Every structure is written in C-alpha cells, then in structure tokens.
Amino acid sequence: MTNELMQRVEAHLNVIYPDQNCQDLSQQLVSTMGIAIDAKAPVPFTNLWDQNDIYLITYGDSLIDESLSPGQRPLQSLHHFIRNYLQQVISAVHILPFYPYSSDDGFAVIDYYQVNESLGDWQDIQAISEDVKVMADVVINHCSARSGWFENFKQGKDPGNDFFFTASPDEDTSLVVRPRTHDLLKQVITPDGSKYVWCTFSHDQVDFDFRNPIVLNEFVSILNYYLEQGITIFRFDAVAFLWKEAGTSCLNLPQTHEIVRLLRLLVEHKNPQAVIITETNIPNRQNLMYFGNANEAHAIYNFSLPPLLINTLVTGDCTHLKTWLMSLPPAQNGTAYFNFIASHDGVGLRPVEGLLSEEETDLLINTMVSFGGRVSWRALKGGRNQPYEINISLYDALSGTVNGPDSLQKQRFICAHAIMLGIEGIPAIYIHSFFGTQNDLERVNLSNQNRCINRHKWNYPELQGHLGNAFSHHAQVFEELTALIKLRKQQKAFHPNATQFTLHLGVQLFGFWRQSLDRRQSIFCISNVTCEPQPLSLADLNLIDMGDWRDLITGQTFTNVRECITLAPYQTVWISN
C-alpha cells in the first residue's frame, strides 16, 4: 500500500469531512476495500473498451423458463440466452438490481449482500461473469424501508441507527429538485420520538446520510464484495441526489462529486479493469460534469440521446439531434459516453430541457401517448407538476410519426439503432429491443406502475418460438439488429473514442463522420430520418477520390464520388474506405 494512495484518499476525505480525523478514516477505507500492499496506480487516461464492447441491459427475470431443467432459475435462463443467442454479439451484461427488494422492481434494496433467491444465487452471477463482463447496480442514494438497517433505525439500534438522512418538517425544502410528486419527508416513530426521513424517490426508499462516514465505509465494503463475486462494472444509481444540504437543490453537490472520485480511486486500485458508470437523469450540462477530469466516472449515461432520437424519427427533422451532437464535447481518453435509446425506465424529459421547446416537448408527449404511452410526473416549486418521463416501449414509440401510425415501424426502429451504434460512445441495448417487444399494458394495469409498460417478462420457450419463426417481427428485428451489431464490431472507426464530426446534410438526412484512432478508416454514417425517399449527393461528403467507397451495410460500391444516390425511408448507410 503506497503512501501516495493514502494521501490521495485522505485529500478526498478532507473535502467531504473537513471536521473528521481523515487520516484514520483513509486507513479504514483502504483496509475495507482490501487493496493489496503492492497495488500499483492504474495508468491514467486508459480506455478500458473498444469497438467490440456492446452491453445488454436486462432484468434478472426478463426471461422465465422452467422447461430447461427442473427448478430452472431466471438467471440461468438469462445465461442460456446469452450463450446461445448473443455469444458473438455482446461483451457485457447489465443485470438490473438482483438483490432482495420491496418495491420499484429492485431499486428498493433490502440486502445488498444477497441475490434475490427467486432469481438465483451468487454462483449464477459468477457463472455469467465467466462468459461476459457483468455490470451491477450500486443503489447508493437509498435503500428499502424494509431493510434491516432501517428496522434498526426505527428501533434505535446499530448498524442503521445513524444511516439515514432526517430533516425537520419546518425546514424550507422548496429548492430541492424532485423526480417525484409525493411528500419528501416520511414520519417515523423511534425510541427518541418522531423523526422525518428524507425520501427522494418513494416512501419505501429511504435516503442514506453520507455525512456519516460509516455509511461511506459500508458502500466501500459493498463494492469490494461485488468485485470478489466477479463483477467489474458498477452503475451508480441516482448518485446525483446523494449529498443533502439545507438551502440547496440537494442535486450534484460538490461532496457528491468528491465521493464518486474517491470511490473510483479505491475501486481502480483494487481492480484496474473495473469501470464506474454514473446514472444521472438530469440536464445535459450537469450530466457532463460527472466525467470530472477523467478522474470521476469512467462513463456517463447519454440521457439526451433517447428523447432527441425519438423526436427526430417521429418528426422527420434532425435539427435538434444535430445541434446536440455538435455541442457534445469529445470524451477524453479514459472516459466514454454510455449510449442507450431504451431501458427499464422511461424516456427522460429533463435531459432535453433547453434542447426542445415546450411546444416541441408537448408534441412529442402527445405523439407517444397516441402510441399507447404513459406520462410520469415530478413536483416543482409551488406545488406544480411537470412531465418527468414518457413510459413506452421503444418499438411502439416508433410506430409512426406525428401524423399517426404507419407501416414503417420496423424500419424506423432499426434506423434508431443504426444511429446509436455509430455515434461516439459505448452502445447498450435493452433486452426488449432485441425482440421489438411491445407495450405491456397488462402489467401496467396490474401493477398501477407506468414503468411496467416496458418491463415485460417473456416466457423463454415462447420467445424462442418467435425467434424461430421468420415471419415474426421479433425474429426479423433480432436478425437485423444482431447483424448490424456484428458489422459494427468489425470497424475500428467505431471505437468509443474515435474522432467524430457532425455532417450538415439538411434536416431530412442525419449524418456524422467517424475516423479510427489510427486514422486508417473513415466511415460516413448517414440516415434518412423521414418516411419518404431522400437524395444524397456523395459530393456533399467530400469523399477522397482514391479507391472505391462502399456501404458496409448493403455492400454497395461507389466508384464515382460525385454521384447521387437515393436513401429509402429510414435507411442508414455506413460509407467506408
């Protein structure tokens, strides 16, 4: 253990806990993480990814099958699916919270050290990690109100008695940024009388108090435990809300950023290949801050991409998507954007604040509602509510345009993924996007939860039947999407940190240029984002007239760099040298 590491840990702690004995605390954290005495600092600005990295996002029980063997567990079904369908497609799997929980489909964690027995056990997680990298959620802002820690809090016992953030109901919390509409504080009776616990997300999700260093040490212990189980990628859930301070928004506070930097420092000294990804569903500029100076998150969720891309494809106008892409700073080496266009949550609307006008946002919302979507709300100052996210499956979100449904749903859906797979960053694909899963309105009605619309649970044998039927749209989507991914993985110009420039081809054609880090390959990525054929003049791309250029997707070769071609509705071309 180097003195340099101890000094760096202590420096972070001095910012977070200026009134604490940070020398002793730094020794405790390093010991809890189990960092070897001879551990070396990782080389800074090192990319731990390349163009072969594709993530799968899934719940542990998105596939349910008891036919493979008696007592088949969902995590084993997931492993079977990865081995038999995605072995050459993905490099990592994000298994959404697989711990015992009480609500929010896993994000109200009861016990961070256990696997939900209805899903499987740690051996199942370890088995998956032998085939692909595993990303696990670190639900760091809050835990379940039914957890052992909170039960101890209510009884005035340790551990847990001082784990949770409390505030007076008379305190002015009007500046606090809220993602929900319920009351912020929850009254709890304890041996010391009534206390009011802070609940950012729901009254079943009670917020931790990181002003207590014991809470920080507990999460260091959790991270170390996950590393020992074979997990190497960590998603810090809702981390932007972590630190609370009276008279502030309680969002993105300096101590929050300092804690992320500290946890990264400890994790990467334990395992230099480990990756931290921050999940911060907030306006774009605030989100970018979590890169730090390549010393905070390795990757950040690119939250503005889903709503902007959907908006582009339903309006047939790429103006806002193009403007956003031009404003996106290149991620420096050692950091990357984490790109996704569908997930277990809804399509966030906060990330397009300042990017779409109120009228444009309303049109997007109304279009999604007409395709079967739902809207979730958040509370604003003064008791007003504002749309927070749209809840809809991506396949149904692309059912048509602002003019209504049409017959180009699948083409529009594949176009969305072709764009995501091409832009700078690491692509992550929700399991239901592989199949073109549609809105699950039955689950919404049964659960009374809008987000369940996009959390379908497939009967695995039934799904396999669909995937074996060439006439099924599920099979067609799976075949086209996996073929596109395999093609992408072969292109060095699609390295997550490869050079990117936005092209100006009007509003009907969305385009950008990628160049490999060794400058040996260029790819011009152009998509027709409309429901009508669109002309593309190759002269507008300024292709160098040396050798043939070829569309990687169709194989079409272009010998005349000044010819004009026509792109079918929602067709994408990857023109490469």
User: Reduced to 3 states, what is the DSSP secondary structure of residue 468?
Assistant: coil
Binding site annotation covers 236? yes
Let me know if 237 is a catalytic residue. yes
Tokens 């582009």 -> residue: 312
- Pairwise CA distance, residues 351 & 305, whole Å: 9
Binding site annotation covers 396? no
Sequence-distant (6+) residues with CB within 8 A of 76 are 68, 120, 124
Binding site annotation covers 235? yes
Cβ(289)–Cβ(251) under 8 Å?
Answer: no
Annotated catalytic residue: which of 237, 317, 440, 551? 237
- 458-459 and 63-64 beta bridge pairing: parallel
Task: For 109-124, give one letter per residue: b (16+ CB within 10 A) or e.
Answer: bbebeebbeebbebeb
- Pairwise CA distance, residues 553 & 562, whole Å: 20
Binding site annotation covers 261? no
Binding site annotation covers 142? yes
Phi-psi region of 360 (alpha: psi -120 to 50; beta: other; left: phi over 0): alpha
For 387, what's the count of Cα atoms within 13 Å in the CB-facing half-sphere?
23
Q: List beta partners, residue 389.
A: 348, 376
Cβ(575)–Cβ(503) under 8 Å?
Answer: no
- Pairwise CA distance, residues 423 & 73, whole Å: 36
Binding site annotation covers 104? yes
Structure tokens that stand for 63 in this block: 């596939």
Q: Report the run of H or E that residue 427 belongs to, with start and end.
A: strand 426-430
- Residue ranges of the annotated binding site are 104, 142, 235-237, 344-345, 451
Residues with catalytic annotation? 237
- Residue ranges of the annotated binding site for substrate are 104, 142, 235-237, 344-345, 451
